[in-house]
Amino acid sequence: MARVEQWAESGPRQYSLACRGTARIVVDEWLPDDPYPRARTRMAPDAAGDEPDWDPLLEKRAELQLLCGQGGRRDRQLRWIASQLAEPVDYAGDDATAASFRAASDLPLGAADRHRALVAPDAAARVDVLASAVDDLVAALRFRLQA
């Protein structure tokens, strides 16, 4: 489920939307597209799980920021990533689920890693997926910067 946060007319009878997810759903059945994609869905709340351990993710995030900052002297894209990571983050709080989704949206990850985070069964598993994805990104950037 999503909430429309911004919209703009982008042509005759066409609109561009900026939406923020509010709840996870699972598509059980796709229905005919008349006049837009439709489906039968059900809610997919997080399972009960352990509290996330944020330390490994925050350490990997700091390593990514440092690496991008160093490589940013030669690469505009890395400079931009470093700027996106410059603001300190604090994911501690009462709602680990919301914080884990916020972490997924804060990090410079690709679609496959974001999807892996989205389908994780609970907040702790989601944070572990994110830490692994950032670790992979750090390894790829180290390789890229060696060239």
Per the CB < 8 A criterion, the answer to whether 69 and 95 are in contact is: no
Q: Tell me what pLDDT residue 53 has.
A: 95
> CB burial class (10 A; 0-12, 13-18, 19+) of residue 133?
buried
Residues in the chain, total: 147
Mean pLDDT of 22-47: 91
Flag whether pLDDT at 49 surpasses 90: no
Mean pLDDT of 40-46: 93
Which band of pLDDT confidence, cut at 50, 70 and 90, is reported for residue 112? very high
Residue 8, phi then psi, degrees to nearest 5: -150, 145
Which band of pLDDT confidence, cut at 50, 70 and 90, is reported for residue 108? very high
Q: Tell me what pLDDT residue 71 has.
A: 82
Which band of pLDDT confidence, cut at 50, 70 and 90, is reported for residue 75? confident
